[in-house]
Structure 1
């Protein structure tokens, strides 16, 4: 009996000490374009979870979006999701999740998702319109007072797929972190009748407090090799950390 008690205490202590700092749901469902970089993104997220001591589950099954399942998580990540991926019941559960004070992270084509859902349009902040060919461009750091931004110089060279966003102002509360300099690359593109000429002022990453929760978005993350880049991974983890905990912004 004494040995059983000792064993129980040992197992309980091991479980307690092994607890991680927060829980993440990584969601990569696509109903349109499927990015080849999703596989690399999932691999990078698994390594990040080990490195930064958080728990992560990866799913593409939208039926998981119910109150009972989502309750265990602190943040939901949409990594290169596209188009309509949740039905009305699943949308309602996701909305309640954010309203309970939890977080959301959108990566790249998360802004090419759920166009017909106004609440999501506000949550993500801006919606994708068009993009030119992958190019190198200069990126300007707008705000360093955010987790993950402290390592960047004021201006740096980056190669990615540069999203031009729709002109609609879905949210007035966006805090811009990064912007891309359109004079450093060619933003002009045409897909049939859809034309892109650039945005002038061109934010590419931002965060906001929204509907009692937290939302972070980065437009970086199209190219598979980016998910091996330490700068990008630090940028992404900063957003995840803040969205999950609300910590890291110096007041």
Structure 2
């Protein structure tokens, strides 16, 4: 009986996919065997000629007219963070048409070539790091399969690099999911996700990361790392982050808003004023992370900006609109800040102070904060 790895290589030859001699084929991507459906990432449908034919039949000519950034199959692409259910409106597909389209998609076999194509956006490349002893060690992760806003990613990296030099941290950068293995993760005090969008870790990489966190590791997430409309890893969205994104203002997209510090005594708020005003793209979430025990560091005053999204979507969360928070995850800890779309935010003094204090807490001073948890 052939293994899937063997089928991967065979299908790659049929599909014309080059396999580097030293590369280990990715065979455990999360949606490898999932049936086609209206909940599939759009990229997986666009990668299949049979699945695309179903869409063409349902909406003739519409998908071929989508901009490449929305329907492209090479990451980063919005197609990795959209499904027909979530993004059908932009193609003119009405909600009542989805059940019939779903039924047609579900009839399609998932071929070996489909599995190869689905797994191609993941990697097994294990980077090697030369890390000094005696310094806090931070891994800045930048693998992005969904939406990549280059200016914000670059500005965040520059700010963190300067911060590390100022604080004496050892900071290294990778865009390889292969870094998420037990041996590599053991080298670090914290992992920072720099505006990560799209599903980026294989099943084995997910397990390694979750185990590392729950046994005492630390996660720091920045802005876009919680900004996808759909997630295919419930633990990441619901337990690690503790909130799912629903949208941001579009009228206008970037607005001045008042940030209010809710936990001034928490180490992550060290040195911050009780409030400040800044300009950014402001996220709203379906639920409040307090419901799973998070400590909210800062909230937004919704009276200070207009929380109205695309097509007049109501983005109000009310008097308690979290924008930055921490939590224990097993014996590990997390910090997330939704601030950080505009490159200028990474030189805004209060935001920089928040990130610096939060990383210091996550990687160094907060190590015992969750150690007694099980």
In the alignment, structure 1 residue 229 sits paired with structure 2 residue 348 = yes
Higher strand residue share = 1
Which whole-Å deviations, capped at 9, do the CAs of 1:34-79 have from their partners, x for residues lacking one?
Answer: 1221011111111111100111110111111111111100100111
Which whole-Å deviations, capped at 9, do the CAs of 1:132-154 have from their partners, x for residues lacking one?
Answer: 11100111110111224232222
Scaled by the length of structure 1, what TM-score is found?
0.85
Q: Would you say the 8 A contact 1:20–1:54 is kept in 2?
A: no
Deviates more, 1:221-230 or 1:127-136: 221-230
Deviation, 1:227, is 1.3
**Separation (CA, whole Å) in 2 of partners of 1:233 and 1:73:** 22
Q: Would you say the 8 A contact 2:270–2:357 is kept in 1?
A: no
Q: Identify if the C-alpha distance between structure 1 residues 197 and 102 changes in structure 2 by more than 3 Å, giving closer, same or farther.
A: closer
In the alignment, structure 1 residue 120 sits paired with structure 2 residue 120 = no
Q: Would you say the 8 A contact 1:147–1:239 is kept in 2?
A: yes
- Considering Cα pairs closer than 8 Å and 6+ residues apart, tell me whether 1 or 2 has the greater RCO: 1
Once superposed, what is the RMSD of the aligned Cα atoms? Answer: 2.2
**Separation (CA, whole Å) in 2 of partners of 1:108 and 1:130:** 12
Deviation, 1:32, is 1.2
Aligned residues: 231
Q: Identify if the C-alpha distance between structure 1 residues 249 and 137 changes in structure 2 by more than 3 Å, giving closer, same or farther.
A: farther
Q: Identify if the C-alpha distance between structure 1 residues 149 and 134 changes in structure 2 by more than 3 Å, giving closer, same or farther.
A: same
**Separation (CA, whole Å) in 2 of partners of 1:144 and 1:45:** 23
Moved over 6 A (4+): none
**Separation (CA, whole Å) in 1 of partners of 2:173 and 2:161:** 9
**Separation (CA, whole Å) in 1 of partners of 2:285 and 2:277:** 21
Paired position in structure 1 for 2:143: 29
- Structure 1 unaligned blocks of 5 or more: 1-17
Secondary structure, in 3 states, of the residue corresponding to 1:37?
A: helix
Paired position in structure 2 for 1:175: 295
In the alignment, structure 1 residue 102 sits paired with structure 2 residue 217 = yes
**Separation (CA, whole Å) in 1 of partners of 2:213 and 2:240:** 9
Higher helix residue share = 2
Q: Would you say the 8 A contact 2:302–2:316 is kept in 1?
A: yes
**Separation (CA, whole Å) in 2 of partners of 1:211 and 1:83:** 25
Which whole-Å deviations, capped at 9, do the CAs of 1:219-246 have from their partners, x for residues lacking one?
Answer: 1111101112232111101111111124
Secondary structure, in 3 states, of the residue corresponding to 1:235?
A: helix
**Separation (CA, whole Å) in 1 of partners of 2:273 and 2:191:** 29
Q: Would you say the 8 A contact 1:147–1:248 is kept in 2?
A: no
**Separation (CA, whole Å) in 2 of partners of 1:220 and 1:97:** 26
In the alignment, structure 1 residue 83 sits paired with structure 2 residue 198 = yes
